[in-house]
Amino acid sequence: MKKTIFTIGLMLCVAIGANAQETTTPNPVNPNAPKFKFVTEEIDYGTIEHNADGNREFKFTNVGKEPLIISNAAGSCGCTVPTAPKEPIKPGESAVIKVHYATDRIGAFEKTVTLTSNADVPSKVIKIKGVVKPDPAPAGGATPVAPVEQKH
């Protein structure tokens, strides 16, 4: 009796498991979809001064056959602020993604900007990197002290 119940239970589990397998068909690829073509997908700031100009631009062209609409542009942290075009980019047109990196942070950095759009690849990641140098130390290695006014 136990073997019969076990066998029926096992067959029931297999039947439920097989039925639970959902077959999904992939979304059809739109041959006319908009498509990013960047001049470069990574900008290297190189070694820059502390508090230097942190603005750069990613230039791209829509090489697809439909207008490209960027719905969101997000930096990987608060120190990386992207600005994307609000209007659709027509096929064959070029535009820029502006990126501002806060160069008040000293040291090496590697950050990303994630673009969400209606392109053939709906989520696109572009990158920035570089090194922000510290301020030079004053001559003599000592920190300058402001003179103290004395009263007589």
Q: Using one digit for the tens of pLDDT, what is the confidence trace for 104-132? A: 999 999 999 999 999 999 999 999 999 99
Mean pLDDT for 53-67 is: 97
Supply the pLDDT for residue 29: 79
What does the radius of gyration of the chain's CA atoms come to, in whole angstroms?
A: 28
Give the pLDDT score at 150: 44
| Percent of the chain's residues with pLDDT above 90 | 68
81 and 112 in contact (C-beta within 8 Å)? no
Q: Is the pLDDT of residue 61 over 60?
A: yes
Sheet holding 123-132, edge to edge: 42-48, 123-132, 107-117, 70-75
Q: Average pLDDT of the chain?
A: 85
CA atoms within 13 A on the CB side of 56: 22
For residue 16, give the H/E element and its range: helix 2-20
The C-alpha atoms of residue 120 and residue 113 are separated, in whole angstroms, by: 18
Rounded-to-integer distance, Cα 141 and Cα 137, Å = 6
pTM metric for this prediction: 0.72
Beta bridge partners of 127: 42, 112
* Rounded distance between C-alpha atoms, residue 43 and residue 47, angstroms: 12
Phi then psi for residue 5, to 5 deg, are -65, -40
Residue 117 has a pLDDT of: 97
pLDDT digits (tens, 9 = 90+) for 2-40: 666 656 655 655 656 555 555 555 567 789 999 999 999
Q: Using CA atoms, how far apart are residues 45 and 102, in angstroms rounded to an integer?
A: 12
Q: Where along the chain do its domains lie?
A: 36-132
Task: Give the CATH fold of the 36-132 domain.
Answer: Immunoglobulin-like (2.60.40)
